[in-house]
Structure 1
Amino acid sequence: MSLLFETIKLDGGRIFNLRYHQARVDAAFKALFPKVRPVSIEEVLEGVSLPADGLYRLRVSYSDIRAEAAVFPYVRRKINRLVLIEDDSLSYPHKFENREMFQKYAGKFAPDEEPLFVVNGQVTDTTFSNIVLNKGNVYVTPKACLLKGTKRQQMLDTGIITEMKITPGMLSDFETVHIINALNGIGDITVSVESVVVT
């Protein structure tokens, strides 16, 4: 039984980007459990008490036979440095709770450092996010992401960002790396390109 999860932004009692999270759940079921009706996030949340104030991480865990939700306060990490790590073995096409491929890097970095993975010569994601790079008013995201994030997809659909094949040598063409995921948009967690280092 494969256990997967969605992490959803809950801010001021409002749930963000629900249709993008549901679309990812639907895609996971189509790929992994094609004969099973996809979990409905709205149905899972029925009866769950959601805080009306503050920023929270709403976690919906699910498989083909069960689903549950939990709510946690959310505090943004402060990241001062990204470390480029080459690992061609990485594959994370669905949001599995089994994250062993990332756990092997746990404890190897300072609290304010985060690995930025290079797979088959292309810049991809961190352990918990997609990235967006900008130079001036031009914002791009790596085409070769490990996981198609909901915030990433929402910004692609609205034209805020575009996809680009990005190699490590191209990073110096940009100014800032933005760490993006369901709870973080452009400008929430940023790292200067000068603070992206190679091990």
Structure 2
Amino acid sequence: MFPLVETVQVVDGEALHLNYHQKRLDATFHSYYQAESPFTLAEIIHIPRKFSKGLHKLRFLYDQTNYRYEFSPYQARRIESLKIVEVETIHYPFKFTDRQAINELVSQKGQCDDILIVVDGLIGDTSIANIVFFDGKRWLTPDSPLLAGTCRARLLAEGIIVEAKIGLADLARFHSFSLLNALKGEADLLDPLPIKNILK
């Protein structure tokens, strides 16, 4: 089993934002394996003709020396509500294939669609995405995510969102929220959800 994965959005046969995935893969290699990455995604990934139309998910699975990648159709799942789940600590610094710790937290979501993980009083991520909050003027994202996503990194670089320390008590000052990940992109910023949809 490969311990690490990059999940890439493929639209009409094009793998999007590979430079951000490459940057995270390189950083993961440096920290996790104390080595330089031998993989260059843009050179390795070839998209078969049957995936040249529509939206697909590409999973690039890897370890220190080997890799494989696979495709599957992707249909976005609309998340309407989040259940706050508080933990003292959780460690998910890299995009692991083993998500047992997160899945155990998801079991606490009740009737909500997903969870919002709060670590030692600070807002982190949902189980599948980074989160951003709108205060009426700006989109703010927690400065302590469980996993720094590639879409989050891109929107920070473009100045569309900004980092801030966001605690559980800060939620009341926001109007709405939206979720970001490599497959969802930033489209949900145009259709945010009311902050009341985050439930204790």
- Provide the TM-score with structure 2 as the length reference: 0.91
* Higher helix content, 1 or 2: 2
Whole-angstrom CA distance in 1 between matches of 2:70 and 2:29? 21
Whole-angstrom CA distance in 2 between matches of 1:111 and 1:23? 37
Aligned to 1:170: 170
Aligned to 2:195: 193
Shift of 1:37: 3.7
Whole-angstrom CA distance in 2 between matches of 1:23 and 1:149? 11
Structure 1 counterpart of 2:48, one-letter code: S
Is this contact kept in 2: 1:79–1:191, CA < 8 A? no
Aligned to 1:57: 57
CA deviations over 1:43-70 (Å, ceiling 9, x no partner): 3314x41512111111100000211111
Count of matched residue positions in the alignment of Structure 1 and Structure 2: 197
Is this contact kept in 1: 2:116–2:127, CA < 8 A? yes
- Provide the TM-score with structure 1 as the length reference: 0.91
Structure 2 counterpart of 1:16, one-letter code: L
Aligned to 2:130: 130
Structure 1 counterpart of 2:26, one-letter code: D
Whole-angstrom CA distance in 2 between matches of 1:4 and 1:62? 5
Structure 2 counterpart of 1:49, one-letter code: P
Is this contact kept in 2: 1:83–1:196, CA < 8 A? yes
Shift of 1:126: 0.6
Shift of 1:176: 1.4
Shift of 1:190: 3.9
Is this contact kept in 2: 1:8–1:57, CA < 8 A? yes
Moved more, 110-119 or 125-134: 110-119
CA deviations over 1:63-95 (Å, ceiling 9, x no partner): 002111111111111222111111122111111
Cα 1:111–1:23 change in 2 (3 A) is farther
Alignment of 1:8-157 (within 5 A): 8-46=8-46, 48-49=47-48, 51-109=51-109, 113-157=113-157
Whole-angstrom CA distance in 1 between matches of 2:18 and 2:64? 20
Shift of 1:112: 5.2
Which secondary structure state, in structure 1, belongs to the residue aligned with residue 58 of structure 2? strand
Structure 2 counterpart of 1:159, one-letter code: G
Shift of 1:170: 0.9
Shift of 1:40: 1.7
Cα 1:103–1:70 change in 2 (3 A) is same
Is this contact kept in 2: 1:115–1:126, CA < 8 A? yes
Shift of 1:185: 3.0
Which secondary structure state, in structure 2, belongs to the residue aligned with residue 117 of structure 1? strand
Sequence identity of aligned pairs in percent? 31
Q: How large is the RMSD of aligned CA atoms in angstroms?
A: 1.9
Shift of 1:42: 2.3
Is this contact kept in 2: 1:132–1:186, CA < 8 A? no
Structure 2 counterpart of 1:17, one-letter code: H
CA deviations over 1:121-159 (Å, ceiling 9, x no partner): 100101111011113341110001011100000000010
